[in-house]
């Protein structure tokens, strides 16, 4: 039977690549993000391959999250796969000069936003006693790097929440996974550095992971047999050995 996936942060990077990968494999899509024009054009492109519905909400607004997911039409209501992907880094500053608005954004989007979306989707999964939740963590959730402080904290929280979900949802047969990439060439650094020139250098001098590389691993995880759960994946590009060691040309 055709499954339905809800992907947050589907307008860019890893989320958009996952939407393309899932469409190719005939998975119905609920694509979420704030940029409606992008949602519209991705919907138009992917509707040739599968059924697509879009939802526009900011994951920080819990009323909007719950209302949007509650408004899903009958054909898209049963979410089999939840990809909690929306997230970003804001700034790269030492803790003593960190910006409070940046800290709020990272905790509100990466941690609380993921919880709000999960809160809206999990009841359907527990009722049906099936489902798969994939949380996009990060290598930053496993290893703290200089000036990463709050972003790393938010991703460590994502990993702890993932483990908690796996334990609590175990009686319902719901799979819970974390996929944790290292450096991926997306709009991530544009957001982190607020469009500044610093963003241009992050992926220079080596071949970073591409969003499609991560999407393929996500698709692999959601297509394992019923008795197999890929609990946790750490993936780097070949040039990256750790958060701080990257071999450049």
Catalytic residues: 151, 155
**Closer residue to ligand NDP (CB): 111 or 169:** 111
**Which residue of this chain has its Cβ atom nearest to ligand NDP in the complex?**
13
* Distance of closest approach, residue 16 Cβ to ligand 8X3, in angstroms: 16
Which of ligand NDP, ligand 8X3, none sits in contact with 65, Cβ below 5 to 8 A by type? none
Instruction: Judge contact between 34 and 58, C-beta under 8 A.
Output: yes
**Closer residue to ligand 8X3 (CB): 66 or 234:** 234
Instruction: Judge contact between 84 and 8, C-beta under 8 A.
Output: yes
Give the end-to-end CA distance of the chain in Å, rounded to a whole number.
47
Which of ligand NDP, ligand 8X3, none sits in contact with 91, Cβ below 5 to 8 A by type? none
Q: x-or-dash pattern for ligand 8X3, window 168-197, by CB under 6 A?
A: --------------xx--------------
Beta bridge partners of 55: 32
Which of ligand NDP, ligand 8X3, none sits in contact with 50, Cβ below 5 to 8 A by type? none
**Closer residue to ligand 8X3 (CB): 18 or 243:** 243
Instruction: Judge contact between 89 and 98, C-beta under 8 A.
Output: no
Residue 86, helix vs strand vs coil: coil
Residues in the site for ligand NDP, rule: CB under 6 A?
8-15, 33-35, 58-60, 85-88, 109, 136, 138, 181, 183-184, 186-188, 191, 211
Q: How far apart are CA 92 and CA 59, in angstroms?
A: 22
Take residue 233 and report the two structure tokens written for it.
Answer: 């994946």
Q: x-or-dash pattern for ligand 8X3, window 112-151, by CB under 6 A?
A: --------------------------xxx-------x---
Which of ligand 8X3, ligand NDP, none sits in contact with 153, Cβ below 5 to 8 A by type? none
Q: How far apart are CA 18 and CA 48, in angstroms?
A: 16
Beta bridge partners of 175: 132
* CA nearest to 95, candidates 110, 106, 109: 106
Take residue 151 and report the two structure tokens written for it.
Answer: 């972003």
């Amino acid at each position: 039977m055709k499954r339905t996936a809800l992907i947050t942060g589907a307008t860019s990077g890893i989320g958009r690549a996952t939407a393309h990968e899932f469409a190719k494999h005939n998975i119905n899509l609920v694509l979420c993000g704030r940029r409606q024009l992008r949602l519209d054009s991705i919907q138009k492109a992917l509707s040739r391959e599968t059924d697509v519905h879009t939802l526009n909400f900011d994951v920080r607004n819990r009323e909007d999250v719950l209302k949007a997911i509650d408004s899903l039409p009958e054909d898209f209501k049963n979410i089999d796969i939840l990809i909690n992907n929306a997230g970003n880094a804001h700034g790269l500053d030492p803790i003593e000069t960190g910006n409070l608005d940046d800290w709020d954004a990272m905790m509100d989007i990466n941690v609380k936003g993921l919880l709000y979306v999960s809160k809206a989707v999990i009841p359907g999964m527990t009722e049906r006693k099936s489902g798969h939740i994939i949380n996009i963590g990060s290598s930053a959730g496993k290893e703290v790097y200089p000036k990463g402080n709050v972003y790393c904290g938010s991703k460590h929280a994502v990993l702890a929440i993932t483990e908690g979900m796996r334990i609590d949802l175990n009686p319902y047969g719901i799979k819970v996974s974390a996929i944790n990439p290292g450096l991926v060439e997306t709009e991530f650094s544009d957001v982190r550095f607020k469009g500044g020139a610093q963003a241009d250098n992050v992926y220079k001098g080596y071949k970073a992971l591409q969003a499609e590389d991560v999407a393929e691993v996500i698709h692999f995880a959601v297509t394992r047999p019923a008795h197999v759960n890929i609990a946790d994946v750490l993936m780097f590009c070949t040039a990256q050995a750790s958060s701080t060691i990257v071999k450049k040309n």
